Amino acid sequence: MPELPEVETVRRGLLPVMEGARILQAETRREGLRWPFPDRMAERLTGARVDRLGRRSKYLLLDLDTDETLIIHLGMSGRILISGHKLGKMHHDHPAPEKHDHVVFDLENGARVTFNDPRRFGAMDLCATSALEDHKLIQVLGPEPLGNRFDAEYLIEAFEGKNTPIKTALLDQGIIAGLGNIYVCEVLFRAGIHPTRKAGRISEDRVASLVPIIRDVLSEAIESGGSSLKDYRQADGDLGYFQHSFRVYGRKGERCVNSRCEGEIRRIVQSGRSTFYCAQCQR
């Protein structure tokens, strides 16, 4: 599933095409994805201008001049692709519709933005912009890891007394919004913290050290266009390439990248998800 860096990369790719543009025609080619689309979604989007294209955690947020916000989640295999718009020196004609093109926006600038989702685990919803923070998907989210609310003091307090493994705590969207399995594995390796250690038993200094590491890992991934595993593509169709910088994720049995370590990367399963780590470097 795309994590924060992948969603932020898609947002940045859509910015020059969608922000400030009017949706001349919105089309839905099925009744819903993970759940049904909101009532008259295509009708409510047609004619609306995208005043702001933002992101909260793993959700894209399109603030419209109709005082509504379109919430988009990519799910497991969702892709948003652009055609018919000049990106740099390239011009992309509109391709023939594909089987899994479920939502299509034709914009006043000639661009077409298509939501393609083979597995249909993606989602879209509309709500009043003024009520966005109270939406069921948004109100449960913790602070953004790249935002000002996320700092050492906050994380120390959030972990205080927690008996859950640090890996599980970092994946809790109510504590930190947008962190997913891939980047948590990479963060814990850089921090030298074993993924099964109880969050509430880690020293304050080590918890505090996680904050800049989390920001570094996410920033590096965004600059690399995210990580392309299986279905993920950027908005221009290109692959992300941060997966080439993985230090532990997906590297079971390989030697640790730390020059002074002769250990190898191990894999365990925590809460149904694969965890990759070095037992010698992470304590």
Task: Report pTM.
Answer: 0.89
Q: Residue 14 in contact with residue 235, Cβ under 8 Å? A: yes
Is the pLDDT score of 87 beyond 80?
no
Question: Is 3 noted as a catalytic residue in this protein?
Answer: yes
Question: Is 160 noted as a catalytic residue in this protein?
Answer: no
Question: Is 2 noted as a catalytic residue in this protein?
Answer: yes
Is the pLDDT score of 234 beyond 60?
no
Which residue ranges form the domains of the chain, and what is each CATH number? 4-134 (3.20.190.10), 152-278 (1.10.8.50)
pLDDT in tens, 123-178: 999 999 999 999 999 999 999 999 999 999 999 999 999 999 999 999 999 999 99
What pLDDT score does 2 carry? Answer: 80
Q: Considering the candidates 2, 143, 165, 195, report the single residue annotated as catalytic.
A: 2
Q: Which residue has the higher pLDDT, 88 or 107?
A: 107
Question: Is the four-CA dihedral 126, 127, 132, 137 of positive or negative sign?
Answer: negative
Please give the angle made by the CA atoms of 11, 209 and 221, to the nearest 5 degrees.
25
What pLDDT score does 97 carry? Answer: 72
pLDDT in tens, 179-212: 999 999 999 999 999 999 999 999 999 999 999 9
Q: How confident is the model at residue 231 (pLDDT cuts 50, 70, 90)?
A: very low
Nearest-angstrom CA–CA distance, 282 and 171: 18
Q: Considering the candidates 3, 8, 68, 186, report the single residue annotated as catalytic.
A: 3
- Where are the extended beta strands (E) located within the chain? 23-28, 50-56, 59-64, 68-73, 79-83, 86-87, 90-91, 101-107, 112-116, 123-128, 265-270, 273-278
Q: Considering the candidates 12, 215, 247, 273, report the single residue annotated as catalytic.
A: 273
pLDDT in tens, 90-118: 455 677 777 899 999 999 999 999 999 99
What pLDDT score does 239 carry? Answer: 43
Q: Considering the candidates 55, 58, 112, 266, report the single residue annotated as catalytic.
A: 58
